[in-house]
Amino acid sequence: MSTYFISLPRTEAAIGLENLEELEKKFQFIYKIAVDGESAELCGLYDGNPLPDDADYLIVPFSSGFERNAEIFGGETFVNVLGSSKDKPEMPYTGLSWLEFYDYATNQIYENRVNSCVTDHYFYKGQGTEQKKCDDSYCKYCGNRKNLIGGHVIVSPKIPEAAYPSTLNNPVVGILPICMCHNKHDDGYMINFERRIIPIIYYVLSKEVYQSELDAAKLKKDQVEVK
């Protein structure tokens, strides 16, 4: 099994970002190619370490996996993405994390970054709520957002609980700052507290999108190995 570095065309939304070059240097997306080769599913941010030898992987720049920045309004619901457990909430500053990605993709860094769970802090199932609040503690002195992560969420279609994007029609997947407790709330949904920016990402790449670049990467790798 192999890892291929490919450069898919930049999206129009990425081209319009003022900090695009910084984002491309800082973030690369890892996609795992399905067994049938017909699609590749997002599974993490690349930090330079070797990947598991269980499949072929694609490493693509930020601009190839970023679709657009959108808005999610207060009262809107969203759910977790099942199977997106590659986050590194214990290292929001020293390592590559989706929370850090959210900061830079939305240009909300330093004094204007999001420091608390974007939900209304409650947990919803069916037509009711669990009467408890989440813990998104933040230390304003040391800046430690220890209970906050960048969570993969489905904002459309509106569904009652977490799901795999591949099972939905035209799912819209984005990253939002949520606490660890809400990141584990897979048997229900969450409600956004107030208007927020949400980076929408390509969770699944179709074969048509990556195939030509993959073929070129394989050829280049074969030529290097022959030498």
- From first to last of its 227 residues, the chain has per-residue pLDDT tens of 789 999 999 999 999 888 899 999 999 999 999 999 999 999 999 988 889 888 999 999 999 999 999 999 999 999 999 987 654 444 434 467 899 999 999 999 888 899 889 999 889 988 777 767 787 666 555 566 878 999 999 999 999 999 999 899 999 999 999 998 899 999 999 999 999 999 999 999 999 999 999 988 888 766 666 55
Using CB atoms within 10 A of its CB, is residue 3 exposed (0-12), middle (13-18) or buried (19+)? middle
The whole domain housing 81 covers: 3-226
Residue type, 148: L
Assessment of whether the complete model's pTM goes beyond 0.85: yes
The answer to whether the CB of 51 falls within 8 A of the CB of 170 is no
Counting every residue written for the chain, the total comes to: 227
The 3 state secondary structure assigned to the chain is CCEEECCCCCCHHHHCCCCHHHHHHHCEEEEEECCCCCEEEEEEECCCCCCCCCCCEEEEEHHHHEEEEEEECCCCEEEEECCCCCCCCCCCCCCCCHHHHHHHHCCCCHHHCCCCCCECCCEEECCEEECCCCCCCCCCCCCCCCCEEEEEEEEECCCCCCECHHHCCCCEEEEEEEEHHHHCCCCCEEEECCCEEEEEECCEEEHHHHHHHHHHHHHHHHHHHHC
Structural domains counted in the chain: 1
